[in-house]
Amino acid sequence: MQRRLAAILAADIEGYSRLMGEDEAATVRDLQGHQAVVLPMVGQHGGRVIDTAGDGILAEFPSVTGAIECAVEIQTVMAQRNVDVPEARRMRFRMGVNVGDVIHDGDRIYGDGINIASRLESIAEPGGICVSRPVFDQIDRGIAAKFRALGSRAFKNIVQPVDVFAYSAGDSRANSGRARAGAPELKQEIRFCTAGDGVQLAYSMIGQGPPLVKPGNWMTHLEYDLESPVWRHFYRELAKEHTVLRYDARGNGLSDRVIPDLTFDAFVADLEAVVEAAGIARFALLGVSFGCPVAISYAVRHPERVSHLVLYGGYAIGRDKRARTDAEREENAASLTLTRLGWGKENPAFRQLFTSQFIPGGTKEQADWFNELQRVTISPDMAVRFMEIGGQADVTALLSRVTMPTLVMHATDDARVPFDAGRRMAAAIPNARFVPLQGRNHLILEDEPAFGQLLRHLRAFLAS
């Protein structure tokens, strides 16, 4: 066991039991949506999530500054997220922050430092933060000015009284307008439909204009993606000229997470179910990565409904079937083993392997978001099963039957799906246009030249 000084953040949601009693399914769904947005902030401020049991969050930080800045940002963002929510259904965190010695025993931590943080959380206002004097004495003057002294408080099982300072919910709301300064907010209404086998699928529509449907791929979250620096720029641009229909694939995000039937055909059937539920008769179809073979299958089954087919960063045959050497097969097997053993761990070292493949050119902020995206969107078991299905996918026999105008784009040095997989796919589709994009990110980021190139070709193609 190790003992060290750490800043501890403890949080829970005021009135959570009442919310669960009123509507358990909606409460769990809303909580998962909020967690998907706020939990990555812990890592962005240098912290580590210790526990997320029920409605609670317990996190440790190497510095008081990181803990306080994280707490204030979470409350600011939550105030924004609650603006359009009926008063009775709003979720408001109460937070406590303390600094003290903690004992580390593997992934768990113990000590009075944690106990005091929990007691502080219990007296915080909904949407507010309470801190101890050792924390208050270390925070920036600008932030400290927003705290008010509550005096000395005695807490159960804590020997000495604790001087308490409070940051009110009003401060959080006052700052909420600056949380995403300069970035237009994408409004969406999340709905659910039921697939043929009873699986519930979450979907939403954003933007205005001709419909553009994006099939689900793995590691998506309808709410989280609109906040993420990995995805938000992509959807923001698409929504400027289109009504974008997207959904979380089964096993991912806000859709049902525990799935007995996970097959390639089920993914295609899910796309059919979502399109029917949304009531869209004819549309452009945009496949990304694993969404490409799903989009191809749907387009061949329903050519009368697809006006344009766009395939980015995809493949017609999965990595397991593409493997030609023992080394390639061993690498694929190792990835599955690593996912099975390390996906659910708080330590992002395991998941960093995949981040380095999807966005090797990303900033630390983008990498942190993508690392957390993996943890909050899909379980280790489902991630392995998803990889197995993607690895065995093979729609090569369908390529010659694609009849609608098709645009294929692929990064030249894609670190996840080889450029040649995209090139071969395009070559087998009659009259398909192929655009190489200069870059190595599997998911194109906002600040790289390839993103502008992708948008120009996509817009020109869909307008034709």
- pTM, two decimal places: 0.65
Position with higher pLDDT, 224 vs 244: 244
Q: Whole-angstrom Cα distance, residue 269 to residue 402?
A: 18
Say whether pLDDT at 184 is over 60.
Answer: no
Task: Provide the residue count of the chain.
Answer: 464
pLDDT of residue 185: 59
Mean pLDDT, the chain, as a whole number?
88
Single-letter code of the amino acid located at 237: E
Q: What is the CA radius of gyration of the chain?
A: 24
CA–CA separation, 93 and 131 (whole Å): 14
Helices assigned H by DSSP within 263-405: 264-278, 291-301, 319-322, 326-342, 349-358, 364-377, 380-392
Element (H, E) at 200: strand 200-206
349, two tokens: 């070292």
Instruction: Answer whether residue 317 shows pLDDT above 90.
Output: yes
| Beta-strand pair 93-105/108-110 | antiparallel
User: How far apart, in whole angstroms, are the C-alpha atoms of residue 362 and residue 451?
Assistant: 13
Selected residue with higher pLDDT from 270 and 63: 270
What's the pLDDT at 198? 94
pLDDT of residue 106: 65
Residue among 326, 324, 355, 337 at smallest CA distance from 421? 324
pLDDT for 172 equals: 39
pLDDT digits (tens, 9 = 90+) for 423-459: 999 999 999 999 999 999 999 999 888 999 999 999 9
**What is the percent of the chain where pLDDT is above 90?**
61
Residue 60 vs residues 108, 126, 165, 253: alpha-carbon distances, Å: 11, 21, 19, 26
Res. 104: pLDDT tops 60 = yes
Is residue 330 within 8 Å of 432, Cβ to Cβ?
no
- CB 131: neighbour CB atoms within 10 A? 32
Q: What is the pLDDT of residues 38-86, one digit of tens each?
A: 999 999 999 999 888 889 999 999 889 999 999 999 999 999 999 888 8
> What are the angstrom distances between the C-alpha of 366 and each of 77, 358, 360, 361, 373?
18, 11, 10, 9, 10
In this structure, is the dihedral angle defined by the CA atoms of residues 81, 445, 184 and 243, taken in order, positive or negative? negative
pLDDT of residue 7: 92
3-state secondary structure 255-304: CCCCCCCCCHHHHHHHHHHHHHHHCCCCEEEEEECCHHHHHHHHHHHCHH
pLDDT, tens only, 6-28: 899 999 999 999 999 999 999 99
Please give the distance of CA 225 from its chain centroid, rounded to a whole number. 5
Position 175 confidence tier, pLDDT thresholds 50, 70, 90:
very low
**217 CB contacts (<8 Å, ≥6 apart)?**
249, 288, 289, 290, 291, 294
Q: What is the pLDDT of residues 334-351, one digit of tens each?
A: 888 888 887 756 566 676
Question: Using an 8 Å Cβ cutoff, are 377 and 221 in contact?
Answer: yes
**211: Cα separation from own chain's centroid:** 24
Q: Once rounded to an integer, what is the mean pLDDT over residues 266-289?
A: 97
The mean-pLDDT minimum among 303-307, 329-333, 346-350 falls in 346-350
Looking at residue 393, its pLDDT comes to: 96
pLDDT of residue 347: 60
Three-state DSSP class for residue 2: strand
Residues 422/410, Cβ–Cβ less than 8 Å: yes
* Residue 137: per-residue pLDDT: 84
> What is the predicted pLDDT for the residue at 176?
36
Weakest mean pLDDT among 106-110, 185-189, 302-306: 106-110
Phi-psi region of 56 (alpha: psi -120 to 50; beta: other; left: phi over 0): beta
Residues 292-314 have a mean pLDDT of 98
Residue 152 dihedral angles phi and psi, to the nearest 5°: -85, 135
Looking at residue 345, its pLDDT comes to 64
Q: Please state the φ and ψ torsions of residue 48, each to the nearest 5 degrees.
A: -140, 130
| CA–CA separation, 397 and 317 (whole Å) | 10
pLDDT of residue 404: 98
Nearest C-alpha neighbor of 57 from the set 46, 44, 69, 47: 47
Structural domains of the chain, ranges and CATH numbers in brackets: 2-178 (3.30.70.1230), 191-463 (3.40.50.1820)
Alpha carbons within 13 A on the beta-carbon side of 383 = 24
Give per-residue pLDDT as tens, 187-229: 788 899 999 999 999 999 999 999 999 999 988 999 888 888 8
Q: Is the pLDDT of residue 92 over 90?
A: yes
